[in-house]
Structure 1
Amino acid sequence: MKKILITLCIGLGISINSNAQCLKKVVNDENTLLVDVRTPEEFEEETAKNAINIPVDELENRVSELVDAKRIVVFCKSGKRAKQAKKILKRQKGIRKVYNGKTYEKVRNLQ
């Protein structure tokens, strides 16, 4: 993931000093879609700013909602569902730039 983030940051014209700094730029870019893959109940309790909720178990059936996104950052509570979501999305046609933000707390702290 580090190589992908560095390549993305260079493509965005961003000078970086660390992987975390690059992920922060990706998370805050207006062309990035933030997807919280936790349950609706967890999402309602708290999430990252401007995130949408698509639970990981609904992801394959709702992929059409994501095909127009230039970049997607998926996240959950522990990172486990986000990792699963990234794998699901990487298998889909037309979705190439998917990043695992790991937890909603991490993504929120990067905003």
Structure 2
Amino acid sequence: MEWIIILIIVALFAWRMMPAKDVRTIDAAGLKDKLDDKSVQFVDVRTPAEYKARHIKEFKNIPLNTLPSKTDSLDKSKETVVICQSGMRSVQAARVLKKNGFENVVNVRGGMGAYNG
């Protein structure tokens, strides 16, 4: 019985880490290549305190817990790159964006922890 519970917990954790359907993933090097592209919108879903401590200037801070109510402030037709600290919250953010009609969503794998720019 214990193994079943452990298996369920592991499966739920793995499911939450999986990228949303039709969401591309880039690494920190790929992000650096995109930062000069003015046709891309960048969203940092970390808390305001995390954002204030360290952020990439091109990114707009919209914390994950407020994202569902703020999708109207973003352009659904633009490529949208999402980042967090490690990549877990941005996976959730990508799901929120896809659910709200965003077609071109990109998640930064490893998040700010992997970015050294």
In the superposition, the TM-score normalised over structure 1's length comes to 0.70
Q: What are the ranges of 5 or more consecutive residues in structure 2 without an aligned counterpart?
A: 1-18
**CA positional deviation for 1:108:** 5.6
Q: CA RMSD in A?
A: 2.6
Does the 8 Å contact 1:75/1:107 carry over to 2? Answer: no
Does 2:88 match 1:84?
no
In the superposition, the TM-score normalised over structure 2's length comes to 0.67
Cα distance in 2 for partners of 1:51, 1:70 equals 14
Q: How many residues align?
A: 94
Does the 8 Å contact 2:80/2:105 carry over to 1? Answer: yes
After TM superposition, the runs of 4+ consecutive aligned structure 1 residues lying more than 6 A away are: none
Q: What are the ranges of 5 or more consecutive residues in structure 1 without an aligned counterpart?
A: 6-18
Structure 1 108/74 Cα, relative in aligned 2: closer, same or farther at 3 Å?
A: farther
- The percent identity for this pair of structures is 31
In terms of Rg, which structure is larger? 2
Amino acid at match of 1:71: E
**Which structure 2 residues correspond to residues 67-106 of structure 1 after superposition, within 5 A?**
67=75, 70-93=78-101, 95-102=102-109, 103-106=111-114
Amino acid at match of 1:45: A
